[in-house]
Amino acid sequence: MTAAASTARRTFATPPAPKSPFPYHPGSLLSVLDLSVEEVGRLLARAAELEQMDPLVRDRILLKRRLALLFYESSTRTRTSFELAAKALGADTTLVSSLSSSIEKGESLKDTGLTLRALGAEAIILRHSSSGSAWLLEASTRLPVINAGDGMHEHPTQALLDLRTILHHFDPKTRTCHPAPERRKGKGSAVTRAIGPDTLAGFTVAIVGDILHSRVARSNMLLLPRLGARVLLCGPKELLPEQAADSGHGIRIERDFDAALAQSQAVMMLRIQAERLAGLELDLNEYKAQYQLTGQRLAALAPAALVMHPGPIIRGMEITAGVADGPQSAILEQVTHGLAIRMAVIERALTAAPNGGRA
């Protein structure tokens, strides 16, 4: 049977798709789609303020407030970054990870969340291997939940810190990214300017590699085009299905890495997520030949582009050591921006009033 023969000839009036199933806690950050462009701007501005604040003043902001970090997956950057951000604001944190808790004994996510709430947690930061788990936790606890990565779905604070990194380098007047030596000069000014739907007009970012399994890719492709950026997705069919282009506006698939690089002011390299491949077999030599970011490729096609990577990086796989450590690399800078962003997101979680207004 061919697809053409099976296409329905008529369309029917049918029940509408459902709206959001429940009102979120206004402090929750589950998806980048929960944030208006205006709110993104407020978070970025607040991140800059908090970063520059006297640490002794800053740590009164959330003094003795209680945050739980609930981590079902291993993490270095995200966990430490959230923890340090919370502590910088004076909050107490407790870490619950799946390998040293009753989760091992079969306790459900719902019960774990309710237990943390009973122990006084005022917000929960969740990292989980299942897409959508942050919604389940929010529905079960009605606490502010910060999604620190849910399966293959989203990682909103990563997209925000990526945006902050991009704004530090991108000059809207020349539509180029400033090379490394000059970038310190504009620090502060770039992130305090107003954010709007045209902030990244003329900016193109290539997201390259294992898009299918990447929550970083999804959050970025849903956030950056709303500020005017163009997103090019680049990768082999197995890791980048055609339907990825239907995720939102401003997203296009460009399978040729060189062509994508030549059009981009920034390139975001992604790790192949071996733990999520689910039996999929890839010829890694072939993959490297086509998609590895090498010094040669970068010099030839994008000598001024910003090189980004959410980490962990696998040197010699998606990126060469030379590029990772090179002058165009913003990889460690991204990590640093994460701290400021997460301070702002945690503050929002604990100060947003449940009735929708701000406390």
Partner 1 sequence: MKPIIVRNGHLVDPAAGVDSARDILLKDGLVAEIASPGKLNHAGDAEILDAAGLIVAPGLIDIHVHLREPGQTYKETIATGTAAAAAGGFTSVAAMPNTVPVNDSPELTRWMQEPERGAAVRVFPIAAATRGSKGEQINDFIALKAAGAVAVTDDGHPILKDNIMRETLAAAARAGLSVIQHAEDTRMTKGASMNLGPVSFRLGLRGMPPEAESSLVERDIRLVAELRDLHPHLHVAHTSTAAAVAAVRQARRNGLRVTCEVAPHHFLLTDEHVGLYDTHAKMNPPLRSAADRDAMIEGLLDGVVDAIATDHAPHAQHEKEVEFECAPNGITGLETALGLALRWLHAEWKMPLGRVLSLMSAQPAALLGLKGRGTLAAGSHADVVIFDPKARWIWRAVDSKSKAKNTPFDGWEMQGRVRWTISEGRVAYAGA
User: Which residues of the shown chain bind partner 1 in the complex (CB under 8 A)?
Assistant: 1, 3, 5-15, 17-18, 20-21, 108-110, 128, 130-133, 135-136, 140, 150-154, 212, 215, 218, 241, 243-244, 246-247, 278-279
φ and ψ at residue 298, rounded to 5 degrees: -65, -45
Question: Between residues 129 and 176, which has the closer beta carbon with respect to partner 1?
Answer: 129
Question: Between residues 130 and 290, which has the closer beta carbon with respect to partner 1?
Answer: 130
Closest CB 278 distance from partner 1, rounded Å: 5
Q: What are the Cα distances from residue 331, in Å, to 11, 84, 120, 312? A: 49, 19, 36, 10
Closest CB 220 distance from partner 1, rounded Å: 13
Q: Which two tokens stand for residue 28?
A: 């929750």
Evaluate whether 291 touches 250 at the Cβ level (below 8 Å): no
Closest CB 221 distance from partner 1, rounded Å: 10
63: left (phi over 0), alpha (psi -120 to 50) or beta: beta
In 209-256, alpha helices (H): 215-223
Question: Between residues 215 and 348, which has the closer beta carbon with respect to partner 1?
Answer: 215
Q: Residue 116: count other Cβ atoms within 10 Å of its Cβ.
A: 23
Closest CB 75 distance from partner 1, rounded Å: 17
**What amino acid is encoded at 298 in this protein?**
L
Question: Between residues 132 and 236, which has the closer beta carbon with respect to partner 1?
Answer: 132
Closest CB 230 distance from partner 1, rounded Å: 19
| Alpha carbon 218 to its chain's center | 8
C-alpha angle 316-180-149 in degrees, rounded to nearest 5: 55
Q: Residue 118: count other Cβ atoms within 10 Å of its Cβ.
A: 9
- Which residue in 120, 112, 84 sits closest to 96, CA to CA? 112
Question: Between residues 181 and 279, which has the closer beta carbon with respect to partner 1?
Answer: 279
Closest CB 247 distance from partner 1, rounded Å: 5
- Which residue in 155, 4, 12 sits closest to 79, CA to CA? 155
Question: Between residues 201 and 280, which has the closer beta carbon with respect to partner 1?
Answer: 280
Question: Between residues 7 and 100, which has the closer beta carbon with respect to partner 1?
Answer: 7
Closest CB 152 distance from partner 1, rounded Å: 3
